[in-house]
């Protein structure tokens, strides 16, 4: 009922013990009330955070670092709505937000896509009937193109330069229309896209060819809520799920050279093939040559039972939040 946006200091790395555990307590710097469930949020810049609400409203909060307060900086009321913007109960949940300062793109349960600019009161562009089903997530493919995933198993590319309200490409999972919940693109090779959905499968797509995934990888036993390539080391990918697991997918090395007792996960390591032919050109994520080399998967939280709802990764740090109403920071991903 009572929702808040909070800014925490997880402390500096100077407070680490011998094993790299962090000893200082995380400190709550400031928080502010938020109307509706927080569906998604992303930093726009060093000070501003864009937040998506279940009421359909999109708000920019500013973090004032000099006196550690948060304030609502700008608000687009009912950016997403079912019937019309003016009815009191007409709001539709804004399910996803992505920023490329000053541009902000939002998607929602109403199948609508909005393009906002941080300094403008009205939407720069709205695609009203972008999708007949719920849009669950959005990310930038390039500065002028976005990727969306929906509840009938489709991945779509939208070119925001075109005034047409049609996607420039549509990809879909074959057969069952399994809802897709999350999407991320490879930071260096932008044709490689990863999605995850209701069946827990990880799908890897090459948007240069075909309309179906190049590989489907068995992953979680329930919904996959988030997928992220490591931004600076994209041979590593992270996924988290309703089943309480958080997987680290590693295609970086020849796994067969590693002694198997290093797999710290609770689940036995699954091996999936990939090839290392000219790694700079052929990404491990796209290959399907089983005779070559393999992929290592580790469950980073083996005995967790509650849903892992969200994750983010940067450098050696992984942060994730669970239904235990707790946020965890792992500072030694590659230790």
- For the stretch 70-125, pLDDT in tens is 999 999 999 999 987 777 667 899 999 999 999 999 999 999 999 999 989 999 99
pLDDT value, residue 17: 54
Distance set, CA 57 to CA 6, 53, 81, 109, 268 (Å): 18, 5, 9, 12, 43
pLDDT value, residue 269: 40
pLDDT band at 174 (very low <50, low <70, confident <90, very high): confident
Rounded to 5 degrees, φ, ψ at 252 are -80, -25
- Return the minimum-mean-pLDDT range out of 47-51, 84-88, 144-148, 190-194: 84-88
Does domain 1-15+22-131 correspond to CATH entry 2.130.10.10?
Answer: yes
pLDDT value, residue 19: 55
Burial 170-179 (b: 16+ CB within 10 A, else e): ebbbeeebbb
Report whether the peptide linkage leading into residue 102 is cis, meaning its omega lies within 30 degrees of zero.
Answer: yes
Tell me the pLDDT tens digit for each residue of 133-169.
999 999 999 999 999 999 999 999 999 999 889 999 9
Count of H-run helices and E-run strands, the chain: 0, 26
Domain ranges of the chain: 1-15+22-131
Indicate whether 320 pLDDT > 70. Answer: yes
Report d(CA 155, CA 293) in Å as an integer.
29
User: If we measure between CA atoms, which residue out of 128, 122, 25, 138 comes closest to residue 84?
Assistant: 128
């Amino acid at each position: 009922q009572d929702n808040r946006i909070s800014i925490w200091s997880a402390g500096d790395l100077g407070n680490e013990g011998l094993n790299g555990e962090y000893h200082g307590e995380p400190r709550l710097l400031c928080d502010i009330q938020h109307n509706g469930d927080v569906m998604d949020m992303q930093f726009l810049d060093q000070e501003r955070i864009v937040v998506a609400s279940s009421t359909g409203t999109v708000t920019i909060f500013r973090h004032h670092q000099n006196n550690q307060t948060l304030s609502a900086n700008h608000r687009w009321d009912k950016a997403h709505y079912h019937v019309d913007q003016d009815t009191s109960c007409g709001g539709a949940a804004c399910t996803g937000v992505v920023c490329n300062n000053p541009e902000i793109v939002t998607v929602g349960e109403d199948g609508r896509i909005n393009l906002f600019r941080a300094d403008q009161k009205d939407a720069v562009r709205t695609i009203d009937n972008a999708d007949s089903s719920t849009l669950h997530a959005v990310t930038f493919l390039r500065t002028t193109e976005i990727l969306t995933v929906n509840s009938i198993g489709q991945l779509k590319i939208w070119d925001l330069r075109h005034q047409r309200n049609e996607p420039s490409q549509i990809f879909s999972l074959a057969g069952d229309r399994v809802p897709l919940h999350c999407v991320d693109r490879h930071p260096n090779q932008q044709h490689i896209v990863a999605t995850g959905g209701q069946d827990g499968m990880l799908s890897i797509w090459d948007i240069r060819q075909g309309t179906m995934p190049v590989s489907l990888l068995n992953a979680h036993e329930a919904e996959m809520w988030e997928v992220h390539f490591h931004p600076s080391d994209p041979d590593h990918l992270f996924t988290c799920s309703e089943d309480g697991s958080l997987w680290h997918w590693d295609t970086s090395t020849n796994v067969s050279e590693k002694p198997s007792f290093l797999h710290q996960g609770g689940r036995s390591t699954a091996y999936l093939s990939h090839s290392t032919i000219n790694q700079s050109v052929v990404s491990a994520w796209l290959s399907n040559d089983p005779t070559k080399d393999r992929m290592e998967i580790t469950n980073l939280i083996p005995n967790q039972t509650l849903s892992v709802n969200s994750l983010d990764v940067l450098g050696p740090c992984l942060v994730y939040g669970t239904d235990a109403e707790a946020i965890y920071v792992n500072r030694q991903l590659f230790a």
